[in-house]
C-alpha cells in the first residue's frame, strides 16, 4: 500500500469523497474523472496520480468502506457464535447505511450486461 503524507492523504480523501458524491448524483457511468477533478478543485493529472482510472477509484472506495466496517467489527464484544454472527451482520449493515445511495448507483451499473 502506498504511504501518503498527511496533505496527500487529505487530497486523496477529497477526491474519493467528491467521486462518491458525484456517483450518487449522476451515476457511475455519467461521472467522469474530469468532472471529479473539477469538483474536487484539483487538476485532472493530480486525480490520475492518485487513481489510475475511475475503476481504480471505485475499488479504493470499496476498500475504504470495508476497512471502516472491519475496524468496527473487530472491536465487537465476545459472545457465542450466534451472538457474534448477529452482531457482525447488524454492525456491517449499520456501518454501510450511509453508503446506501452510492451502492445503488454503483451496483446498478455493475450489474448491467454492458458493464465491464
Q: What percent of the chain has pLDDT over 90?
A: 38
Q: Does residue 18 fall inside a structural domain?
A: yes
Q: Does residue 32 fall inside a structural domain?
A: yes
Q: Does residue 116 fall inside a structural domain?
A: no
**Distance between CA atoms of residues 64 and 80, nearest Å:** 29
Q: Does residue 115 fall inside a structural domain?
A: no
pTM of the model: 0.74
Three-class secondary structure of residue 111 per DSSP: coil
- pLDDT tens digits, 49-75: 999 999 999 889 888 888 888 888 888
State the CATH number of the domain containing residue 75: 1.10.357.10
Domain that residue 73 falls in: 6-110
**Distance between CA atoms of residues 108 and 102, nearest Å:** 10
Other beta carbons within 10 Å of 93? 11
**Distance between CA atoms of residues 106 and 20, nearest Å:** 10
Strand runs (DSSP E) across 1-116, as ranges?
none
Query: How many domains are contained in the chain?
Result: 1
Amino acid at each position: 500500500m502506498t504511504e501518503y503524507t498527511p496533505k496527500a492523504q487529505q487530497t486523496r480523501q477529497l477526491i474519493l469523497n467528491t467521486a462518491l458524491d458525484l456517483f450518487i448524483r449522476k451515476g457511475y457511468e455519467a461521472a467522469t474523472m474530469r468532472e471529479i477533478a473539477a469538483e474536487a478543485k484539483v487538476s485532472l493529472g493530480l486525480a490520475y496520480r492518485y487513481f489510475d482510472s475511475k475503476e481504480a477509484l471505485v475499488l479504493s472506495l470499496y476498500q475504504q468502506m470495508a476497512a471502516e466496517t472491519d475496524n468496527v467489527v473487530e472491536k465487537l464484544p465476545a459472545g457465542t457464535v450466534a451472538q457474534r454472527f448477529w452482531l457482525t451482520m447488524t454492525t456491517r449493515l449499520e456501518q454501510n447505511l450511509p453508503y446506501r445511495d452510492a451502492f445503488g448507483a454503483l451496483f446498478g451499473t455493475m450489474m448491467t450486461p454492458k458493464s465491464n
